[in-house]
Amino acid sequence: MAVVRPFRGIRPHTELVDRVASLPYDVMNREEAKDMAKGNPYSFLHVVRSEIDMEDEQNPYDQAVYEMARRNLDKMIEENILVQDEQPKYYIYRQMMFGRVQTGIVGCTSIDDYIHDVIKKHEFTRPAKEVDRIHNFDYCDANTAPIFLTYRRNETLNTIIRDHIKFNKPLYQFTSEDDIMHVVWDICDEAVINRIHQIFEGIDYLYIADGHHRSASAVKVGLKRRENTDYTGEEEFNYFLSVIFPDEDLFIMDYNRVVKDLNGNSTEEFLDKIKENFTIELYEEGSYRPSKKQTYGMYLEGHWYKLTAKEHITHKDNIVERLDVALLQDNLLGPILGIEDPRTDKRIDFVGGIRGLEELERRVQHDMKVAFAMYPTTIDDLMDVADTGEVMPPKSTWFEPKLRSGLFVHRLSD
């Protein structure tokens, strides 16, 4: 049984929504964030990446950065750049990209559901990254960015969403700079709100699609506040901001790998070692994008190769070990290239599929030696792994489109 409830959203003034909405804080570096917000005082990057308003030498994890985030958020509210709804609501958030549509419910989910695995995870988190968002949320007294959740298809909820969209005008409709259309509706009808709440109570599990660090941080902020008060469980800090999409809507792109060197191997030695567990074919028709599981593209010294996992390494009882990312890690990146822990090894980097295979070629020509193009992990893989209580290898999934920050803010002390 999943607990999802409405909230009094803090959201952009209608005329400013396209200038406020920003990409998530963790998909760009400091320099890119600063460039994105340049000339735009309304950008929500001033809240989620507030170090861009400070000297370049400023440590982005200093207390002063989080104090700046709070001041920037307060200023946006005081100047009516952001306004708060008077009554708790659900919202519908639709994104359209590449002809695909994903439509979800925006509400608040329970930190207790997270603790008790009603909200299921599929990744480990890194403490340093958690601490950063803990400070941002705590100083701002708000969830400044939503968690991206999914659930197995529920036709009753789909019908409610379709009917509401059909008979109501949107609050917002705009196209962002990356040509993604964003549309938002609010749900004010008490009967509909109650019905949505009841439907989620009948859904056994929610799954984190994207935002493991944000969700862990939101939960820890809530637990911290429980320690400092005689809480009832109804306070807003017991819940965190989420956008919840049906699994059938979601689009996972490839999450590719680039490695700095061949771990002391010559090119010939490297290719010979690969042949033990993969067949290798030189691909001479441009770049190679895998079209099915257990195949990989490899870019090395100006050439693309097609790698296919040999049968003897694909027969695994463990669901995680059967994943393409695991097969590559366990049979090539680890034993041949010496990448033992891809979460911490500085010789490997990861490139989201949204950047295209051209970015893999550019990286190899610029600062890397070899690149691997992956077949995307499926949403069924993700949920099956989460259901078993396992975790996926690092950087297994790249979801597009990304949720915009600043469209919804959830105040923790309401």
Q: What secondary structure does DSSP assign to 90-151, as a single string?
A: EEEEEEEETTEEEEEEEEEEEHHHHHTTSEE--S---HHHHHHHHHHHHHHTEE-S-EEEEE
pLDDT score of 343: 85
For 235-261, what is the mean pLDDT? 97
The average pLDDT across 125-130 equals 87
Residue 235 main-chain phi, psi, to 5 deg: -60, 150
166 class by beta-carbon count within 10 Å (0-12 exposed, 13-18 middle, 19+ buried): exposed
Least Cα distance to 81 among 7, 19, 137, 169 occurs for 19
pLDDT of residue 72: 98
CB atoms within 10 A of CB 8: 16
Element (H, E) at 370: strand 370-373
Share of the chain above pLDDT 70, in %: 100
Residue 263's SS3 state is coil
For residue 270, what are its two tokens? Answer: 């490297």
Asked if residues 58 and 64 have their Cβ atoms less than 8 Å apart, the reply is yes
Residue of 127 and 141 predicted with greater confidence: 141
Angle, helices 63-78/127-140, rounded to nearest 10 degrees: 40
Average the pLDDT over 134-151 and give the result: 98
pLDDT of residue 124 exceeding 90, the answer is no
CB 352 within 8 A of CB 377: no
Average pLDDT over residues 217-234: 94
CA proximity to 102, closest of 166, 148, 147: 148
Is cis: bond before 24, omega within 30 of 0?
A: no
Q: Which two tokens stand for residue 189?
A: 């009808």
pLDDT at 316: 82
Q: How confident is the model at residue 27 (pLDDT cuts 50, 70, 90)?
A: confident
The helix/strand/coil state of 183 is strand
Looking at the predicted structure, is the pLDDT value of residue 317 above 90?
no
| pLDDT value at residue 172 | 98
Helix, strand, coil: what percent of the chain each, to 5?
35, 25, 40
pLDDT tens for residues 170-186? 999 999 999 999 999 99
What's the average model confidence in pLDDT over 331-349?
95
CB atoms within 10 A of CB 155: 8
Kindly tell me if the per-residue pLDDT of 126 is higher than 90.
Answer: no
- Return the pLDDT at 31: 94
- Which phi-psi region, left, alpha or beta, contains residue 353 (left: φ > 0; alpha: ψ -120 to 50)? alpha
3 state SS of 5? strand
Res 125: pLDDT: 85
Q: What are 188's two structure tokens?
A: 């004010």
State the pLDDT at residue 321: 93
Q: For residue 11, what are its two tokens?
A: 């959201």
Query: What is the three-class DSSP state of 76?
Result: helix
CB 407 within 8 A of CB 12: yes
Mean pLDDT, rounded, for 228-236: 92
Q: Would you state the pLDDT for residue 344?
A: 87
Contacts 24+ apart (CB under 8 A), 305-310: 305/280, 305/281, 306/280, 306/281, 307/274, 307/278, 307/279, 307/280, 308/278, 308/279, 308/281, 309/277, 309/278, 310/277, 310/278, 310/279
Is the pLDDT at 327 greater than 90, yes or no? Answer: yes
pLDDT value at 414 more than 90: no
Q: Using CA atoms, how far apart are residues 379 and 359, in angstroms rounded to an integer?
A: 25
Contact 294, 327 (CB under 8 A): yes
Average pLDDT value for residue range 188-216: 96
Greatest pairwise CA separation for the chain in angstroms: 68
Chain centroid to CA 232: 31
Residue 389: pLDDT band with limits 50, 70, 90: very high
* Tokens (6 digits) for 17: 């929504």
Provide the pLDDT for residue 229: 85
Q: Round to whole Å and give the CA distance between 315 and 121.
A: 25
Q: DSSP letter for 220, please.
A: H
pLDDT for 127 beyond 90: no
Let me know: does 101 contact 94? Beta carbons within 8 Å. yes
Is the pLDDT at 240 greater than 90? The verdict is: yes
Computed over every residue of the chain, the mean pLDDT equals 96
More confident residue, 4 or 228: 4
**Strand pairing category for 90-97 and 370-373:** unpaired
Give the pLDDT mean for 406-413. 98
pLDDT tens digits along 73-119: 999 999 999 999 999 999 999 999 989 999 999 999 999 999 999 99
